[in-house]
Structure 1
């Protein structure tokens, strides 16, 4: 028996068996590895302010989109049949609008000249509205070179209501949806009696204040609006006069849709003026606002978003840690789930268009994008075909010191983070629409 064992399992045969197992393991690993993306890149033209007063927001968006495409490309790119070019990588190409609507339209022509059929933009509803009109006209005149517009941040409700377009898809919750989420918290603040409304003087800022007046009247008629004003967008350098008016009004809270430097400078001026009230914000959780407010913002700065780093799930934590590994500088700490889901939705739609037999163009991708249903890091969202408004969860969070219960991660190395205090499911966040979609 010992001789038979030694013969069957001699050192030489054991070595051969190990080599065979190693070969088989390598073969299996190669079979499981994603095929490289060797086809022509699918280019996405990002039109955004990359210079001027809101350049920081444009650069932050670019990092998000690059990270999202890297994830798709790491798994082999967009998977298409060989007849349609095989696996193809996604590539983001930058176009600087300088934060101006006319410049956005000008660089759109450059995008068209470079034969890029997918455009993305978000930081300015005014620019988004102009781009929708321009792309609609272009697509009517150039049926063989049609374009898609993917919107990640322009949240004027009209863009998926009265002015909805088959070629436009919005991946952020619009202003009325965000306002409703904020109001679910404001409604319960029984100490609040006086509130000050302030916003940027353009379509989005106007829409925010209009909806704020409506929802406060409906849900908290006992709350008095003691200030209601708009200021020039991205032009005010000193917000102290506004802060002085806010303090003098006796307001216990400020509600604002401000973003970028207009928010950072506003909250900084309010702190320096001695204002001790709360801030109900759309974007108070990033781009310098927490650091500007400091300890004065603890328990008082409230923000609404599609996702926060401190969403208490293992999938969310792993997702955020992965982003911080890719962009370790605190200055680059600006990650949005919706931008990741947008790229995932696009990849899904292109693959489905390919599986349906192609060709791959704006029309065939749009037909599949209407049915997008994606999940990432435990967050599931879908596109509503009726108005092309993405349906996803919303969360409301309050600022606190890092290390406080529910605040594992801070923002931009500030030492302050946001604790989630209210979660709305996609069904709870959803609102009716007035879109009459005109399909080609």
Structure 2
């Protein structure tokens, strides 16, 4: 049985457990890097593919020879090697967007994984529970929701707010039947976080940081830069307690910002999946969208800072994470997610299908068709066009009274249109 759902809880280790887990986290990071280097070396020198089954034998030898590896539970080390297998499998899978497995830096989040057989959970009362981890015993965590399934794996991690315990559980839940609700198209943007075709007003993500929090974060970043410069000049690059305290304060603010962003994303995607039978979105390549304008001191690029600000705004709205959540939530709630080709959605009139960049001069908020005179908010017009493309691609069986206009695509986009799945006939 594989894990089909995740549960995350706030953990409260003791002082001793905190120190042990922090050491294990750095050991787990080093073990990942060493195992990755070993695999890369064998492939480059001998064209030999090393997997976790064989690599676990080397791990057993290393645990006997090196105390810092032997201190890490054997189950955690084996789980790290299995995760490295999965990272390679995702990289080799042409249908997966993962890149080549990367090394983990010291600033990477501290995590220690365990298989489900190595942990045990017991409930203390309505709000608290404990998990038994190898070598450190019982660890308390806040039972904010029921597990709801059999535990298949567990991961203890630390961020700016403290420690958390995550469980991969097998719930056995099957995809719901089609809910038969009306469809929609969603345009994810920067000015408006999301504009749904069936709504008249956009949805905006609340500020992830308040004004005072932004000022404090900027001041902390400046203090960190000064303290790092001082450490390199006087301490040989070694971090002092004040610098570590500054880094901890920055981590707390950035974690709070990420949690607020994640909260809005979950609420948005859950609402879309529950209340719509068809959800059309743009099949964007976020990596290409956020490619930075490059330049050097000798040959500076053009509008580098402006492009950096745009990239930050795009990533702050997490289009990739929204698509990932919609993919599994659509199956949970009986909806259908369709990703359509994104080209010319902002320049196509949703009423007559005319494609003309002049219909949206200067990328403003107003869309005015040069052919039929149709006027609408640019993002709402794009969401209607996305819905129409989604219905032609995969949602023609959903009942709707919205008319589907013919899209006129210029010559530059016809090749990509031919490569897309053939649409069903719209009568």
Q: Same fold (TM over 0.5)?
A: no
- TM-score, normalised to structure 2's length? 0.22
- TM-score, normalised to structure 1's length? 0.21
